[in-house]
Structure 1
Amino acid sequence: MSDPFGGVVGLLHAAAASSDVPSVAVLVDLVRTPSSGGQIKCWEHFAEAAAGMSPAALGVDLTVYTLGEAHRVERLSPAVRFVSVPPLLSTAPLVRKAGADVCDLSPHHPALNRLLPLHSVWHLTHMFSLANTAVRLRRTRQRAGPANRPGLVASVHTDVPALTSSYVQELLGRAPARLMPRAAPARLGELSARLARHRRDRLLRACDLVLVATPQERTDMTAVVGEERVSLLGRGVDHRLFRPDASARAELTRSHGVPADRTVVLFAGRADASKRVTLLAEAVRRLRDEGRSVHLVVAGTGHETEQVSRLLGLDATLLGTVSQDRLGRVYAGCDVFALPSLTETIGNVVGEAMACGLPVVLPAGARTTRWLASPGDDGLVVADDSVAGWARALAALVDDPAARAAMGRRAAATARATQRTWAQVLTEDLVPVWREVAPLRSPRAG
């Protein structure tokens, strides 16, 4: 029989025939590109860590499914691979202008009906087509008897309800005032968030175990699926790439014209409304208007870069998409890292910035503050979440270089003491869960 899936069926048959370890399918409901956001990067890091281990030491066979333009297999090692499947109802026309990752709104993806039964553990990471297909297929297989029941795990990487509300309000807010009542975007945004939360919780309740990033999320998720079904999944940091480097500033000045004589504030991530990069730009503009020597660098793409440019002009450097190999040098070449976002589940960029020796500035109540061992010592938490409040927090670091440098050293010390590698997180948080929920025997090729 011909294999329309780029060789993956034969590959998985061979893997199943040669190994008794659980075969894990991770379903990432997003299009994978070089500029993809943090969730894709997270699974790229886990896959690379897995590929660096021997199959025996890894203890599972790992396939990470993502969306892509065509069926394609990318082999990282004999036991690790990426597989892409085309979306059926892509959100690209809706969200690309908003800078969001592209997913698939189709309720069912037929390609997975053939691929998923080749795996013994199915791991959901989102709430769209691939996840919905897995939950439906598992219910069908359960009716055929316990022997056909795969293990089902989910990990929460994104606050989808909050992001849905943000994007709905942003899209509706562009409509002419005569067509859209002033209060309508907020009301419809809240309604869309409730619907997204209902859909997410329905999928999570079907799972054997749900992995979350923070103790706060663990408490919230316990109310949805029960305490015994919730576990923590950390994030890793590659300390070879992300570390202090005194020579990085000169490189940033030489390659991008970043002023050498100003305090440089860095934002890294998708430059859209959900990350609130415009709030940061407005705070930096206020500091410039007050006569302070400060400059903003934005590492990332998104439609709000246009607003940043309008607000700051030559007082901002827009780097666009920055590869992981270069991003560590960008961090190390700046003085302060600021992330106003309230929608992060963990915000790995915060850990990376701290590992590079930057003091980080974060909003009170954000889950990103979990990276700090001692708020106020290794990073700042902004209680007044307004332009004025952010400007005051940044001014404290701009005006006192010695205190800023000391906070950066403490941030780096926290990173060295507390941040695990991706391989450690994989072997400590993920592989034990996969093995726990796997059936007694992995499915064999027919």
Structure 2
Amino acid sequence: MPTAPKQRDLARNSLLFRCFGVIVIGCLVVLVFTASKTCKPEPPSDRSPSEIIEPGWSGRLEELSVAWNLLEPPQNPPPRRLRIALFVKRWPKAGRAGGLERHASTLHSLLARRGHVSHVFTADPGGAAEASENPNTIFHFSKPSARGVLDPDAGWAQFLRENASSPFDVVHSESVALAPRLAANSPSVAATWHGIAYEAIHSEVAQDLARLPGEPRSVARATRLETQLFRLIEEVKFFDCYAHHVATSDYEGEVLRRIYMIPSERVHVILTGIDERVFRADAEKSLAFRRRHGVPDDAKLVVGLSGRLVKDKGHPIMVEALKEMMEEDSGSLNGVFFLVAGEGPWAARYRSLGASFLVLGSLNSSDLAAFYNALDVFVDPTLRAQGLDLSVLEAMNSGKPALVTSFAGLTESAIVGPEMGYVAAPKVSGIKETLSAVIRDGRSVLEEKGSAAMRRALKLFTATKMVAAYERLFLCIASKNAGDGGEDYCRYP
């Protein structure tokens, strides 16, 4: 048994360790919430990093710190046909998929149309996965892990067999689908990050601060808050295993360079893009969708929310904000209709707010496109500071302004100025104040903001721009690794 002095030493060391942890987390809170310490969040800069590029720029692509989406997409067929290995934990099934899976599906389906061949290593979906219409997309399913996702060793074994018969030009991993230990020492690997541990710390802090009065901190959240810093440290260590890193937002790219200390030439910003053929402005769809779901023609405004109706997506603070608005002024939402596309625990709570709250459930892509067109403004109350939410980009591409919470991924890449939307502090008072401003502005102002949002979306957030950027990155990686004196695709144009 430890002696009394040793017990005192252990207790003192434990206290010091806890104090150190509190100080470090406190510093992180100051860093990530600097803009939230005043009564009102500071408006984002009118110009984001993805607008700072000289017209006619030329040079080495490895030196490009802004989004590759700004590069002119090629007008001709690709100069060479790439053989690509894609590792993704799951593949979309029956129209249900998260943002990461939808990103992988959109990207590699369009690369296949460009003539490239993608071998997809993923978990067997246990049923009909979304089929590819192009023979250039080849699936290699394996037995899922206990968590229902790709077993990295099973996928790697399949990859080695395929690579032995015909080597791949590039290996693409969506997040850590290709485990770091397997990616190490391969110059052909590029990993796309849709959220990283540094952003997760911001998310945890925001979600804890957003607890409603009287709501206790859960044991699970307390545990995550205590362990998240160590997860960040471990992530910084293993990220070095990946030769190339693709950041899906400007902010994420900056964090990878500064906090994760990854050399700039290995960090590439390629903003998430959505299929502009599906998500586009269509006035006819707007009227038809409203009437189908019982929105009167004389509605003052139509506000939309979509996605998983769960706590970390901000729906508790959204519902509470709406309740307080109606309690404080019973006429504050008169004539305003809310369309909620999605499923989850908060669906019933939206319904309980009244007849003007219409919960539509999950929608397929076609109906989702019509849903965005039916709106005057889209609201994303998320409490997750990770990447770019597809729903915001889909709304912008449909010509709608967005109200988003003040996380840097969204405010530095998407809603970068008041001319295209609104930014709210991620708390009940922030949502109330900003939604009230939306209602005061009215439909004519929202239409102007929606036009500005669509111009930005067409400039940066289309699948065409995203696929062109990835194609050029993969060509650059392949030509650099070939080392045969052939064409240097790392030089632009």
Shorter-chain TM-score range: 0.7 to 0.9
Identify unmatched segments of 5+ residues in structure 2: 1-79, 208-213, 485-493
Within the alignment, does 1:115 sit opposite 2:164 as a pair? no
Residue in structure 1 matched with residue 113 of structure 2 by the alignment = 52
* Superimposed CA distance per residue, residues 196-250 of structure 1 (whole angstroms, 9 cap, x where no aligned partner): 4345434421111111022321121113222221111122233332222333343
Distance 2:187 2:265 in 1: 19
Instruction: Give the AA of the match of 1:49.
Output: L
Q: Contact (CA 8 Å) 1:24, 1:121: kept in 2 or not?
A: yes
2:473 aligns with one of 424, 430, 433: 433
Judged with a 3 Å threshold, the aligned counterparts in structure 2 of structure 1 residues 196 and 63 are, in CA distance, closer, same or farther, namely farther
1:308: which partner in 2? Answer: 350
Q: 1:441 to 1:32 in 2, by over 3 A?
A: farther
Is 1:126 equivalent to 2:175 in the alignment? Answer: yes
- Give distance in 2, aligned partners of 1:425 and 1:255: 34
8 Å Cα contact 1:271/1:301 also seen in 2: yes
Kindly indicate whether the alpha-carbon contact (under 8 Å) linking 2:245 and 2:266 is maintained by their aligned counterparts in 1: yes
Distance 2:154 2:295 in 1: 49
> Is the aligned partner of 1:344 residue 2:386?
yes
Distance in 2 (CA, whole Å) between partners of 1:410 and 1:250 is: 22
CA contact (8 A) 1:154 1:204 kept: no
Cα pair distance change 1:131/1:112, threshold 3 Å: same
- Structure 2 partner of 1:280: 318
Q: Which residue of 2 aligns with 1:211?
A: 246
Counterparts of 2:372 and 2:303, CA distance in 1:
10
AA aligned to 2:388 is I
What is the CA–CA distance in structure 1 between the aligned matches of 2:482 and 2:418, rounded to whole Å?
49
Aligned to 1:297: 339
1:136 aligned residue (156, 175, 181): 181
Kept in 2: contact 1:24–1:61 (CA 8 A): yes
Q: 1:65 aligns with which of 103, 113, 121?
A: 121
Counterpart Cα distance in 2 of 1:355 and 1:169: 28
CA 1:64–1:363 in 2, change beyond 3 Å: closer, same or farther? same
Structure 2 residue aligned with 1:245, among 261, 282, 287? Answer: 282
Distance 1:440 1:409, change over 3 A: closer
In the alignment, structure 1 residue 87 sits paired with structure 2 residue 144: yes
Query: How far apart are the structure 2 equivalents of 1:36 and 1:239?
Result: 19
Residues 20-78 of structure 1, C-alpha deviations (whole Å, 9 max, x = no match): 8542112112353221111111111112212322x2xxxx4212333233498954423
Partner of 1:94: none
Cα contact 2:248–2:388 (8 A) shared by 1: yes
Kindly state the Cα deviation for residue 168 of structure 1 after the two structures are TM-superposed. Answer: 13
Structure 1, unaligned runs of 5 or more = 1-19, 92-102, 143-148, 171-176
Deviations 1:101-125 (A, max 9, x none): xx45x6x432431324523422222
1:119-167 CA deviation, whole Å, 9 max, x = no partner? Answer: 342222223xx422xx43455xx6xxxxxx5611111013467669979
Closer, same or farther: CA 160–432 of 1 in aligned 2, 3 Å: same
Residue pair 2:202, 2:385 contacting (<8 A) in 1 also:
no
Aligned pairs for 1:406-425 (under 5 A) are 406-416=448-458, 418-425=459-466
SS of match in other structure, 1:244:
coil
Instruction: Say whether the 8 Å CA contact 1:297–1:317 is kept in structure 2.
Output: yes
CA–CA separation in structure 2 for the residues paired with 1:419 and 1:400:
27
Kindly state the Cα deviation for residue 407 of structure 1 after the two structures are TM-superposed: 2.0
- Give the distance between the partners of 1:386 and 1:81, measured in 2 at CA: 45
Q: Counterpart in 1 of 2:87?
A: 27
Q: Which residue of 2 aligns with 1:234?
A: 271
CA distance in structure 2 between the partners assigned to 1:425 and 1:120 by the alignment: 19
| Counterpart Cα distance in 2 of 1:220 and 1:111 | 30
Distance 1:109 1:323, change over 3 A: same
Question: In structure 2, what residue type is equivalent to 1:131?
Answer: L
Q: Secondary structure at the match of 1:30?
A: coil
Larger radius of gyration: 2
RMSD of Structure 2 on Structure 1 (CA): 3.4
2:367 equivalent in structure 1: 326
Question: What is the percent sequence identity of the aligned residues?
Answer: 21
Q: C-alpha separation between the residues in 1 aligned to 2:467 and 2:132? A: 19
8 Å CA contact retained: 1:351, 1:415: yes
Cα deviations by residue, 1:163-186 (Å, 9 ceiling, x for unpaired): 69979999xxxxxx9xxx857443
Alignment check: 8 A CA contact 2:142 2:154 kept: no
Q: What is the alpha-carbon distance in structure 1 between the residues aligned to residue 183 and residue 418 of structure 2?
A: 48
**TM-score normalized with structure 2 length:** 0.68
Given the superposition, is the C-alpha separation of residues 409 and 30 from structure 1 closer, same or farther in structure 2, using an over 3 Å criterion? same
| Cα gap change, 1:109 to 1:198, in 2 (>3 Å) | farther
Q: Is the 8 A contact 1:167 1:274 kept in 2?
A: no
| Residues in 2 aligned to 1:72 and 1:240: alpha-carbon distance in whole angstroms | 25
Counterpart amino acid of residue 153 in structure 2? H
In structure 2, relative to structure 1, the CA distance for the partners of 1:29 and 1:154 (3 Å cut) is same
Q: 1:264 corresponds to which residue?
A: 302
Q: How many residues were matched structurally?
A: 382
Deviation at 1:347, TM superposition (A): 1.6
TM-score (norm 1): 0.75
**In 2, distance between residues paired with 1:245 and 1:109?**
46
Summarize the Cα distance change of 1:160–1:251 in structure 2 as closer, same or farther, 3 Å threshold. Answer: farther
Q: d(CA) in 2 for partners of 1:23 and 1:326?
A: 34
Measured after TM superposition, the shift of residue 82 of structure 1 is: 4.1
**1:11 maps to which residue?**
none
SS in 2 for 1:29: coil
**Residue 422 of structure 2: SS of its match in structure 1?**
strand
Between 352-361 and 394-403, report the one with greater CA deviation.
Answer: 394-403
CA distance in 2, matches of 1:189, 1:168: 10
